[in-house]
Amino acid sequence: MIISIASGKGGTGKTTVATNLAVCVDGPVQLLDCDVEEPNAHLFLQPTIDASRTITTPVPEIDLEKCDGCRKCMQICRFRAITVIGEMVLTFPELCHSCGGCMAVCPQDAIRETGRELGVLESGHRNGVAFVHGRIRVGEAMAPPLIRAVRAAREKDKLVLIDAPPGTSCPVIAAMKDTDFVLLVTEPTPFGLHDLQLAVGAVKLLKIPMGLVINRSDLGDDRVRTYAQEQGLPILMEIPYDRQIAECYSRGELFAQVLPQWKARFRELFNHIQTLTGKGAVEQ
């Protein structure tokens, strides 16, 4: 079972929910931090990192001795990663989406692939929770390929929790796509409601069942709850604006381990998700 924890905006508590849920669920669990531009689940989970490897994406390299300037590579590239000026062929690796179309249409076999570094994938564990995250290279704009690399590290015998990036753009879709359930985290504010509406729209397009966690639930107003009721979006948990929880967060601690009553609440949250998806319990 794969659960993606997402939000329409940053700062709603998405990572807080993902990390606390990971340590509360019984059975084998793997947490994938797919917020590769700003990974922070490790700050709370504090895993021991066992392995690290560089992730690259294929980009074209032109053999000018073979190239006859036919421009077919330029014509097929929707992202303008290749252009021909006179007898010169220019490539722009940062624009390339690694589709391989240019290689497929080149009649002179003048294009070969070379790797462009995207970032680093690190994996480890903490107290039975397997952990993987990606760190994108500074200045790199192509997050989805690195997110897919993080997701490819999934261990199929475990419950997989994905900490998705904030927002509703391509990186979020790459993290949510083909998961069993999306747990949306929001806050009861006008900004929270606005971005929740965008997130709900994106998840509906993907046709994935979803539920809602309202963080800092005793602030703001009831418009988020009203919207959830109108959309048939079940509210599975509410986390109050609590000083003890805030203190745990500020120390980099998981509040479900410091405040025992919350461990049962996160287990109940997982049981709700199992009910909504029809998935059986994780094998012990």
Q: What is the CATH number of domain 2-55+118-277?
A: 3.40.50.300
Domain ranges (residues) in the chain:
2-55+118-277, 64-109
Residue 280 pLDDT: 56
Report the distance separating Cα 112 and Cα 168, nearest Å.
Answer: 34
Task: Tell me the pTM.
Answer: 0.89
Residue 86 pLDDT: 85
One fold for 2-55+118-277 and 64-109: no
* DSSP-assigned letter for residue 86: T
Neighbours of 151 (CB within 10 A): 21
- Per DSSP bridges, beta strands 88-91 and 82-85 are antiparallel
Report the distance separating Cα 158 and Cα 142, nearest Å.
Answer: 28
Q: What is the pLDDT along the chain (284 residues), one digit of tens a residue?
A: 999 999 978 888 999 999 999 999 988 999 999 999 999 999 999 999 999 999 999 999 999 999 999 999 999 999 999 999 988 899 999 999 999 999 999 999 999 999 999 999 999 998 889 999 999 999 888 899 999 999 999 999 999 999 999 988 999 999 999 999 999 999 999 999 999 999 999 999 999 999 999 999 988 889 999 999 999 999 999 999 999 999 999 999 999 999 989 999 999 999 999 999 886 544 33
Residue 161 pLDDT: 97
Report the distance separating Cα 17 and Cα 19, nearest Å.
Answer: 6
- Say if domain 64-109 classifies as CATH 3.40.190.10: no
